[in-house]
Amino acid sequence: RRPDLVKVIEAGVRAEISEEVKKLMEDKDKIAELEGQVGTLTTERDDFKTKAEEGDKARAIAEAQAAIKEAVEQAELPEAAKAQLVARYKDAETAEGIAEAIQAEKEYIGRLSEAGKVKGLGGYRLYEDRDAGVSWAGPLVVLTSKFSASASEILAGAIQDYNRGLIVGDHATHGKGTVQSLMDISQRLFGLPNARPMGALKITVQQFYRPNGESTQNRGVVADLELPSLTTHFDVGETDLDYPVGHADEYFPILDCDDPETFGIKVLGSSMTPAYHSGDVLIFFPSVPAQSGQDCFVRFSSDCAKGHGVTFKRVEQVEDKLLLIPLNQAEHDNILVERTDVDFLCPLAIRIEKRI
């Protein structure tokens, strides 16, 4: 992505749309002129008109496809590219399921080292793409809103993580990063094929993670270019629902190992550069003894005057003391401490480099 380019575009777009919104809000008398049956929404702008009717989704999609086809035909693109754009148009906001979202990712991104992860009670499942072919390799913009949920967030998150295109729209998407399953109560209770129907329960069984390891739950996918929108201020997101599942900052697959004391940390910022980079995940096995010259997780004792809390540094043994060498020596100094000043010393076992 080009942050500088995004800022320039955003400034211009905001100015134009803010003026449009201002005019529409001032002309409130137009609201009284709206006609149509209940469940019908008609919008009109210049010579472009779309109509979406409740119960007639197929026709609404057909009209939208026709409008997109007309716009594509007028664009200055090779004929082959135009054909691909029209053929690959899908209403992502109504996409159903993870499989469809992963398939959509494959259409626009090259070989995916990782398309996403799903974590449930039985461990996690990694979705990958082993086919490097794409249907469209040109410039890509994904339009989102606060109503873009679930599968469409999976697609938008992957597009953003792989720097494949720009996410444009509301401040963030809906924020639904969980997977539900319907459980037939009568079947669960009695296990009989002809048992009296007793209804069903929808149970949250999994949580989805983007290719970069982050969760979309509650936070959604934040737009690269935010457009002024009324829906941004509506209480229609996942976090506005009753008792939403909390946001998970990070998922470490290595924690599925048998060692219950294993833990991981995520590098944030530049405090460990150039040895490690922001986004790297570092895994530690406390059962492994630390050796001189290793990078270690260090926890200071409460009465240590030279250090406090925890830190991550290269450890060298100097006689009966420990020399803690910062990984970013340009910004931090060495620390020489007594061995009794350190309560806990654990060497780095595995480094998972940020792949995106």
DSSP element (H, E) containing 266: strand 263-266
Please give the backbone phi and psi of residue 168, each rounded to the nearest 5 degrees, phi first.
-125, 135
The alpha carbon torsion through 237, 239, 242, 243 (nearest 10 deg) reads 150
pLDDT of 50 over the 50 cut = no
Q: In this predicted model, what pLDDT tens digit does every residue of 155-179 receive, in sequence order?
A: 899 889 888 889 999 999 999 988 8
Please give the CATH topology (third level) of the domain spanning 254-352: Umud Fragment, subunit A (2.10.109)
**Average pLDDT for residues 69-98, to the nearest whole number?**
59
Question: Partners of 313 in the beta sheet?
Answer: 296
pLDDT of residue 3: 57
pLDDT of 38 over the 90 cut = no
% of the chain beyond a pLDDT of 90: 11
Structure tokens, 176: 């639904």
Q: What is the pLDDT confidence band of residue 7, given thresholds at 50, 70 and 90?
A: low
Neighbours of 285 (CB within 10 A): 16
Distance between CA atoms of residues 317 and 319, nearest Å: 6
Architecture of domain 93-249: Alpha-Beta Complex (3.90)
pLDDT of 101 over the 60 cut = yes
DSSP element (H, E) containing 144: strand 141-144
pLDDT of 91 over the 50 cut = no
More confident call, 15 vs 114: 15
Q: Do domains 93-249 and 254-352 have the same CATH topology?
A: no
pLDDT of residue 277: 83
Q: What is the pLDDT confidence band of residue 48, given thresholds at 50, 70 and 90?
A: very low
pLDDT of 64 over the 70 cut = no
Q: In this predicted model, what pLDDT tens digit does every residue of 238-251 receive, in sequence order?
A: 989 888 887 665 44
More confident call, 211 vs 16: 211
Domain ranges for the chain, please list them: 93-249, 254-352
Q: What is the pLDDT confidence band of residue 186, given thresholds at 50, 70 and 90?
A: confident
pLDDT of residue 171: 92
Question: Partners of 80 in the beta sheet?
Answer: none
More confident call, 69 vs 115: 69
